[in-house]
Chain A
Amino acid sequence: MASASDCISQTGPGLKERNYFGFSDCSSVDRSTVSSAHLESKNNMNMKATELRLGLPGSQSPERDSDFSLLNSVKLDEKPLFPLAPSKDRICTLSQKTVASGNKRGFDDTVDGFSESKTTNFSEGNWMFNATGSDPGQAKLAGNVISIRPSGTQLAIKSEVPAKTLQESTNKIIGTNTANAPAAKAQVVGWPPIRSFRKNSLVTTSKTNDEVDGKPGPGALFVKVSMDGAPYLRKVDLRMYSAYKELSSALEKMFSCFTIGQCGPQGAPTRKMLSESKLRDLLHGSEYVLTYEDKDGDWMLVGDVPWEMFIASCKKLKIMKGSDAIGLGSSSYQVLLHFKAKKSLMYPCFVWDLAVYQCFYKESFRPDYGSDVPECFVLMSDISFICLLAFSCVFLECLLRLRLYLLFILNLDFLVEAQ
């Protein structure tokens, strides 16, 4: 999050002069990479890219790469996914998203280094905070993936785009990965048919009777997983996974049917399904965070502690919207997060800058015109888009200055957020 705070301090508190195009200084290099990468990946921008992914910080779902390549062949409708006029809401949400992901930094230490091997051709959003050092040249733009990646972390939800056949082929691809083989074997739900009460007892029985067992007995550890807005709970066996990435991919699969949702005949989302409003809903509330309730009853973000410690203390899992997850965090990051939230409320202007900065690099907010549109047109639309954003920023900042003046000059305490 160091780079994010740099950006924030760069633009300073609200009273300083603002250079809305200032971000282009630090981004000019990346911008060119973006446009060139954009060209080559234009073919790849498709409905699949509206996928929102549930990912634990620093992790990549193993099947994302394969899904992506498989879907290149699927002919999906392309339409301008995003209107030219950005709404204020989106910006605010973005700012919240930035904040919510602020505490993900620590996870990199606990990731097994799996993400290194997987970021070969599917990393997006790394240009801004370029911490994992992935080569922008080979970065395939993921199209409309909405994710905020400070220091290589990622939060997004994958949609139910892959049809059943695609799923099977991805499973085949996964199956060849030997690291996943034992986990894949144990993944049949409800087999062997043992009641969960007995399964959970087996865990602790085998733990305390090492002399009989010889090797550590796995047993099973079922916890309930709920998702904001989903009508049902599921249960997962934490002992079937050995790392956060496996858990996240399993949860993606489990809850994927609840994101973009209905599938057409081939399993791909049809045009009318992805209505404007639905997409906007997805964009606004699109960041999903995986949280868990520990033994003390506190809700923590998943990913901060080592895996073994996590499964020892996890009682319940919950997939929350990113906006709801503000204020959550592990103990070491609690303060930091809170501070950031406060700061953003007080000084949203530069956070909007940040958002605009991100917008620029996020294909998600770039209208999709298809492959036969000349590049200049795209550039022009970008510029007009940025101008619109800039004007809205100015307007909102004026409002905020007014508020600040009222606050300090007239001592109107009710305008201050309670600490």
Chain B
Amino acid sequence: MAYSFPEEVLEHVFSFLSLARDRNAVSLVCKSWYEIERWCRHRIFVGNCYAVSPEIVIRRFPELRAVEMKGKPHFADFNLVPEGWGAYAYPWIAAMAEAYPFLEEIKLKRMVVTDESLELISKSYKNFKVLVLTSCEGFTTDGLASIAANCRHLRELDLRESEVEDLSGHWLSHFPDSCTSLVSLNMSCLGSEVSFSSLERLVARSPNLRTLRLNRAVPLEKLANLVRHAPQLVELGTGAYSSEIRSDTFSSLADAFSACKQLKALSGFWDVVPSYLPAVYSVCSGITSLNLSYAAIPSSDLVKLISQCQNLQRLWVLDYIEDSGLEALAASCKDLQELRVFPSDPFGAEPNVSLTEQGLVSVSEGCPKLESVLYFCRQMSNAALIAIARNRPNFIRFRLCIIEPQAADYLTLEPLDAGFGAIVENCKELRRLSMSGLLTDRVFKYIGTHAKKLEMLSIAFAGESDLGLHHVLSGCDSLRKLEIRDCPFGDKAVLANAAKLDTMRSLWMSSCSVSFGACKLLAQKMPRLNVEVIDERGPPDSRPESCVVERVYVYRTVASRQRLDMPDFVWTLDEDSSMRYS
């Protein structure tokens, strides 16, 4: 040991490593490095809250300052995971309250957070600074009130797309007058009106405020006042963007915006009255991120707005933009990196706007830096996909959703295998792929062969046999998350590639053909995997083993396989090789 560096030096060196991947590698070198590293890790990311238990985390990392965690599987966003499945934040927060009194950041995604948890957070951590709740649920505005009241040094309060039970808007008034540290406030998911005067005073006394996302209830007339108090804003989410057309409102709004020299991101724009859009023209040249996905703006007005934003890098928009608008986008925004087009009428039988695959083709031609796409449309062809793949080999994320399940190529009526095959073949750096339309096993063969960097794959209503799943599991080397719904994949592929599941974060299969017997066998073969059978029809024991299960969720875990908060409709394998439920 005389030849090794002193610990303090090593610790100092390690402090430059920010990526968890690098720190994990460092801790594998030798025992003393493991020990040094674990004492100086301050930031942790847990991709699946059930992969590890709070006790294990606390035991290994005694000095954490920031925790980021994800709970439910991605398909929970689309109501495929029954309520009450789990992902409760309270056990984690309670355990961390004792172990980490100096915890500063908590970021949760798709977890169930209760008011008790929020209250515990506000009271246990003296130095709490950042709370980000993405797509969480289970809490009310009372919980927010306790956060506002008790966290003296709160910097970020971000409730992205969470389901909050909105009891009243009074929670905002709980911010004490002494609180001047606010940097980011996102309350866009809340419904009820907050006291505008409290909001105004809060904004006025927060000189560091960079992000302000208002909720729909903040009227347009008041927006100008708020913006005037915070000309240093970098990201602004408006409230309802509609009002009677009055020139004084318009001019005050335009003046307020012109004072914001650092504004880079705009969002909100609920209930847009297009005549008020020109008020933001003064800041458009600096805008890099524009989220108009709640704004029903006709294509012509959209084009006028977008053509002003030469430096746009991220655009989220509804399909009102139409093919013509996307062509204009391709012509004016050459820096575009991410495009998301959401459907305005997803459940209508007939298309209400003229948005087709052509829009995506034009954007892929015109925007050389485009790397991330989420596109909802009603028709697609192999030719278009091949063209897109050729135009844009630098895709990292490609998510295409054709609204009609199993829709074939509308020109040739063939499956879209060739199109998606071209995507994975040409886009060598593809990390995330979501597919839709009519797909056979061939597309999975292409994916297995070419998509070597693919980390997340979402499949729906696709495939013909187990061979498809086998191609994916055996071929995709970097696969971490696989989620499948309504595909005819069964036992053989899953069991044959059981070892692969150990290298992945999770596998979700719902409405497929996996039998209960196969789940049991998988759980027996792989002790490090938790095979959760989620079936609302009653205990799977009461049916024959060949009966298919409704949903199965397989994830690797070092915690106990019998999690304590399992509801009645979840079954996992017990220690004595029988399926039990709590």
Contacts and interface: CB of A to CB of B under 8 A. Distances in A.
A220 B83 contact: no
B83 A202 contact: no
B83 A218 contact: no
Contact of A263 (B294, B349, B485, B543): B543
Interface in A322-370: none
A185 interface: yes
Contacts of B376: 192, 194
A260 to B, nearest CB: 11
A203 B520 CA distance: 43
Contacts of A80: none
Given A195-B161, A213-B352, A190 B536 contact: no
Interface stretch (B72-80, B249-257, B440-448): B72-80
Given A186-B347, A192-B401, A232-B567, A214 B77 contact: no
Given A196-B77, A204-B271, A205-B294, 9 more contacts: A182-B349, A191-B461, A193-B77, A194-B376, A205-B296, A217-B344, A231-B84, A257-B538, A263-B543
A242 to B, nearest CB: 12
Contacts of A217: 344-345, 348, 352
Contacts of A202: 344-346
Contacts of B342: 194, 198
Contacts of A234: 82-83
Interface in B515-562: 536-539, 542-544
Interface residues of A, number: 45
B431 to A, nearest CB: 18
Nearest to B461: A191
Contacts of A194: 78, 342-343, 346, 376
A184 to B, nearest CB: 12
19 contacts: A189-B80, A191-B78, A195-B77, A195-B78, A195-B135, A198-B294, A201-B294, A202-B344, A204-B271, A209-B271, A209-B296, A212-B297, A214-B352, A215-B352, A231-B569, A232-B568, A257-B537, A261-B538, A262-B538
A185 B405 CA distance: 10
B569 A232 contact: yes
Contact of A197 (B189, B272, B458, B538): B189
A197 B189 CA distance: 8
Contacts of B395: none
A182 B349 CA distance: 8
Contact of B544 (A188, A201, A265): A265
A192 B542 contact: no
B163 interface: yes
Q: Lowest 4 A-B CB distances belong to which pairs?
A: A190-B78, A233-B83, A209-B296, A231-B568
Q: Which one of A202, A213, A222 has the highest number of Cβ atoms from chain B below 10 Å of its Cβ?
A: A202
B460 interface: yes
Nearest to B161: A197
A192 B537 contact: no
Interface in A250-265: 257, 261-263, 265
A204 B295 CA distance: 11
A188 B348 CA distance: 14
A265 B84 CA distance: 28
Q: Which one of A191, A199, A235 has the highest number of Cβ atoms from chain B below 10 Å of its Cβ?
A: A191
A188 to B, nearest CB: 7
A190 B296 contact: no
Interface in B243-298: 270-272, 293-298
Nearest to A185: B349
A51 interface: no
Nearest to B295: A205
Contacts of A222: 79
A208 interface: yes
B125 interface: no
B44 interface: no
Interface string B398-427: 000101010000000000000000000000
A239 B347 contact: yes
B435 to A, nearest CB: 11
A222 B79 CA distance: 10
Contacts of B135: 195, 197
Interface string A274-308: 00000000000000000000000000000000000
Contacts of B293: 198
A403 interface: no
Contact of B536 (A198, A201, A204, A232): A232
B272 A209 contact: yes
A224 interface: yes
A206 interface: yes
Contacts of A220: 347
A220 to B, nearest CB: 7
Q: Which one of B83, B403, B461 has the highest number of Cβ atoms from chain A below 10 Å of its Cβ?
A: B83
Interface string B460-499: 1100000000000000000000000100000000000000
Nearest to B85: A232
Contacts of A196: 77, 79, 163
Nearest to B240: A208
Contacts of B544: 265
A205 B271 contact: yes
B88 interface: no
A263 B352 contact: no
A205 B270 contact: yes
A198 B342 CA distance: 9
Q: Which one of B135, B347, B458, B461 has the highest number of Cβ atoms from chain A below 10 Å of its Cβ?
A: B347
Contacts of A212: 296-298, 320
A212 B538 CA distance: 47
Contacts of B242: 208
Contacts of B405: 188, 191
Contact of A232 (B80, B83, B295, B537): B83
Contacts of A263: 537-538, 542-543
Contacts of B77: 193, 195-196
A192 B272 CA distance: 25
A204 B542 CA distance: 45
A206 B272 CA distance: 11
Nearest to A210: B296
A231 to B, nearest CB: 4
Interface string B559-582: 000000001110000000000000
Contacts of A199: 346
Interface string B297-311: 110000000000000
Interface string A152-191: 0000000010000000000000000000001001101111
Nearest to A194: B346
Contacts of A213: 296, 344-345, 352
Contact of A206 (B80, B83, B345, B349): B345
A238 to B, nearest CB: 12
Contacts of B84: 231-233
A202 B347 CA distance: 11
A342 B544 CA distance: 51
Nearest to A224: B83
A275 B35 CA distance: 60
Q: Which one of B78, B79, B270 has the highest number of Cβ atoms from chain A below 10 Å of its Cβ?
A: B79
B79 A235 contact: yes
Nearest to A254: B536
A218 B350 CA distance: 12
B542 A262 contact: yes
A231 B77 CA distance: 20
Interface string A76-99: 000000000000000000000000
Q: Which one of A160, A239, A263 has the highest number of Cβ atoms from chain B below 10 Å of its Cβ?
A: A263
